[in-house]
C-alpha cells in the first residue's frame, strides 16, 4: 500500500507529509554537519565509487555494482566491494567467501563475489569495511560501495545515483514519499535501470540470459524450459513481477508465480506440493533456495549500461 501511495500525492501521502518534514530536517542537519566539518568524512587511501539511490526500495543497484566492477576489472584495475549486507543475521564486519552462508553475509554481497570474483566485505560501517578489505587485500586500488549514498562518513570520489521507472515517485521525503533525501541533488552520474526513464540520465539494457543455471553449474537453455509443461517461478526481490514478465517474454509461461518479500531467507518456505515440476528463480534467490531446493534453476540477469555511462565513469577516475 505504501509503495503505491509513494507514486502519487494522494490522501495517505498527504497525511504522512508532516512527518516527512521532520525526517527532512534531521537529514538536512546531518548533511550540514558533514559539510561544515562537525562530522568527519574519512578517506581510505584509494578512490571510492558509491552506487546508491535516493529512493527507498530496490532500484537495481546490485546489477549496476556488478557491471561497474566487471568494467573496471576489464581495465586491469584490482577492485574491491563494500556493502552493509542487508538482511543478514550477523552484526559484525566480515569478508564474503564463495561458500559463505547468505544469512551471514547477505544475498547480494554473496552474488557480487560469486559473479565477479572481487573481494567483498560487509559491515554497517562502510569505513570499517573498506579498511578491513584493504588490510586483507592490499592490492586493491579502487573500492565500489554497494549502496551507501547516505553513508557520508565514507569519503567518495564518484557518486552514481540509480533510478528505476518510479523515478523520484511523488517527490516527497519519507514517509510521505519514497525519497531518502531531496531530489534533485548534486550527483556525478545518473543511471536508469528501467525501460521508461523519468528524467535525464544514462540508460541500461536488462534481459535474461538464454539459459538457467543449476546448483552443479550446469546450463539448461530457456528454450527447453519453455517447452516444459509445469514450471513454477519464484522471486524474492523488490519487483518480482518484473522477473515473471521477463520469463514470459522469453516464452516461459509459469503455471504458478510465487512472489516473496525482498531478501527472503526461505527458512519458513514450504515447497509447492504436486509434481513433477521445474522450479526456477532469480540469481539473487538461488544461494538461499538451493539449500532447501537443490533442484532449482537460477536464471541470470544480463545487465548492460550504455557505453556512454562507462565513458563518463572513466572520465571521473
pLDDT in tens, 249-279: 999 999 999 999 988 988 888 888 877 899 9
> How far apart, in Å, are the Cα atoms of 24 and each of 18, 80, 88, 173, 177?
10, 33, 28, 7, 11
Q: What is the pLDDT of residue 36?
A: 94
Taking a C-beta distance cutoff of 8 angstroms, is the pair 50, 189 a contact?
A: no
Domain ranges of the chain: 2-205+305-315, 210-299
Annotated binding residue 57: yes
Annotated binding residue 315: no
- Phi and psi at residue 18, in whole multiples of 5°? -60, -35
Mean residue pLDDT of the chain comes to 94
Q: What is the pLDDT of residue 60?
A: 86
Report the topology of domain 2-205+305-315: Rossmann fold (3.40.50)
Annotated binding residue 61: yes
Annotated binding residue 56: yes
Annotated binding residue 153: no
Annotated binding residue 233: no
Provide the residue-wise pLDDT of the chain in tens; the chain has 317 residues: 778 889 999 999 999 999 999 999 999 999 999 999 999 999 999 999 999 999 987 778 999 999 999 999 999 999 999 999 988 999 999 999 999 999 999 999 999 999 999 999 999 999 999 999 999 999 999 999 998 899 999 999 999 999 999 999 999 999 999 999 999 999 999 999 988 898 999 999 999 999 999 999 999 999 999 999 899 999 999 889 999 999 999 999 999 999 999 889 888 888 888 778 999 999 999 989 999 999 999 999 999 999 999 999 999 99
Annotated binding residue 282: no
Task: Determine the Cα–Cα distance for residues 310 and 317; give it in Å rounded to an integer.
Answer: 11
Taking a C-beta distance cutoff of 8 angstroms, is the pair 125, 153 a contact?
A: yes
Alpha-helical runs (H) found in 8-81 = 11-35, 61-74
Amino acid at each position: 500500500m505504501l509503495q503505491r501511495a509513494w507514486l502519487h500525492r494522494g490522501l495517505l501521502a498527504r497525511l504522512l507529509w508532516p512527518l516527512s518534514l521532520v525526517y527532512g530536517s534531521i537529514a538536512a542537519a546531518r548533511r550540514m554537519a558533514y559539510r561544515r566539518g562537525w562530522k568527519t568524512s574519512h578517506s581510505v587511501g584509494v578512490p571510492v565509487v558509491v552506487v546508491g539511490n535516493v529512493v527507498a526500495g530496490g532500484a537495481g543497484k546490485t546489477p549496476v555494482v556488478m557491471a561497474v566492477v566487471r568494467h573496471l576489472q576489464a581495465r586491469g584495475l584490482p577492485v574491491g566491494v563494500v556493502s552493509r549486507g542487508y538482511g543478514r543475521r550477523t552484526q559484525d564486519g566480515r569478508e564474503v567467501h564463495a561458500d559463505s552462508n547468505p544469512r551471514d553475509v547477505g544475498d547480494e554481497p554473496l552474488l557480487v563475489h560469486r559473479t565477479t570474483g572481487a573481494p567483498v566485505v560487509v559491515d554497517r560501517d562502510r569505513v570499517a569495511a573498506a579498511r578491513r578489505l584493504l588490510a586483507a587485500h592490499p592490492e586493491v586500488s579502487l573500492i565500489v560501495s554497494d549502496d551507501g549514498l547516505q553513508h557520508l562518513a565514507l569519503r567518495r570520489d564518484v557518486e552514481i545515483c540509480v533510478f528505476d521507472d518510479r523515478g523520484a515517485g511523488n517527490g516527497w521525503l519519507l514517509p510521505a514519499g519514497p525519497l531518502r533525501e531531496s531530489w534533485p541533488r548534486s550527483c556525478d552520474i545518473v543511471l536508469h535501470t528501467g525501460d521508461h526513464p523519468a528524467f535525464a540520465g544514462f540508460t541500461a539494457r536488462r534481459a535474461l540470459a538464454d539459459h538457467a543455471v543449476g546448483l552443479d553449474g550446469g546450463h539448461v537453455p530457456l528454450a527447453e524450459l519453455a517447452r516444459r509443461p509445469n514450471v513454477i517461478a519464484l522471486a524474492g526481490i523488490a519487483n518480482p513481477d518484473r522477473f515473471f514478465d521477463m520469463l514470459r517474454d522469453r516464452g516461459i509461461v509459469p503455471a504458478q508465480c510465487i512472489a516473496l518479500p525482498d531478501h527472503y531467507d526461505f527458512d519458513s518456505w514450504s515447497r509447492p506440493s504436486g509434481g513433477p515440476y521445474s522450479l526456477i528463480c532469480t540469481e539473487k534467490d538461488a544461494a538461499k533456495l538451493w539449500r532447501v531446493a537443490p533442484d532449482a534453476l537460477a536464471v541470470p540477469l544480463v545487465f548492460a549500461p550504455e557505453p556512454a555511462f562507462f565513458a563518463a565513469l572513466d572520465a571521473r577516475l
